[in-house]
């Protein structure tokens, strides 16, 4: 079970790293604005759903690892955090980013650019928090 937990962590980290290093730069280098937007609006819900599944699996595996009598608290907490932050990204932040992005296309303004940067930064921050939490979960030897 511990090996499965570690595989989930590194699978998620690999997916995020792959997106950051290859997919994102390629999208913006090859596609024009509307095409890039369409692609990203199709891609991110899938990535967030995958992240939610990973969080739920971490919770399940952590509960199963607790069967020996020692509760696997940190794993459960990390799983809950990953699930909640990914859900917030999927259901709240992403729709807001999309709305601001649409406004930027139709009527660009410094205020909309600032709002987009803030929301995008929040979303990236959630990825970072989840990544650090999962790396810590692995590093603690669980």
How many domains does the chain divide into?
1
pLDDT tens digits, one per residue of 8-47: 999 999 999 999 999 999 999 999 988 999 999 999 999 9
- Which residues constitute the domain of residue 116? 2-139
Q: How far is CA 72 from CA 56, 58, 128, in A?
A: 14, 10, 23
What predicted TM-score, i.e. pTM, was given to this entire model? 0.91
By the 10 Å C-beta count (0-12 exposed, 13-18 middle, 19+ buried), 126 is classed as buried
pLDDT tens digits, one per residue of 122-142: 999 999 999 999 999 989 866
């Amino acid at each position: 079970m511990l090996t499965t937990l570690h595989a989930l962590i590194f699978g998620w980290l690999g997916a995020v790293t792959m997106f950051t290093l290859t997919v994102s730069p390629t999208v913006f280098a090859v596609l024009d604005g509307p095409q890039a937007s369409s692609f990203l609006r199709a891609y991110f819900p899938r990535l967030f759903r995958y992240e939610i599944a990973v969080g739920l699996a971490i919770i399940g595996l952590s509960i199963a690892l607790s069967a020996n009598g020692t509760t696997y608290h940190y794993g459960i907490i990390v799983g809950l955090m990953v699930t909640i932050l990914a859900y917030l990204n999927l259901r709240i932040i992403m729709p807001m980013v999309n709305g601001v992005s649409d406004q930027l296309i139709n009527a660009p303004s410094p205020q909309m650019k600032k709002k987009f940067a803030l929301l995008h930064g929040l979303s990236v921050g959630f990825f970072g928090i989840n990544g650090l939490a999962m790396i810590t979960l692995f590093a603690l030897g669980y």
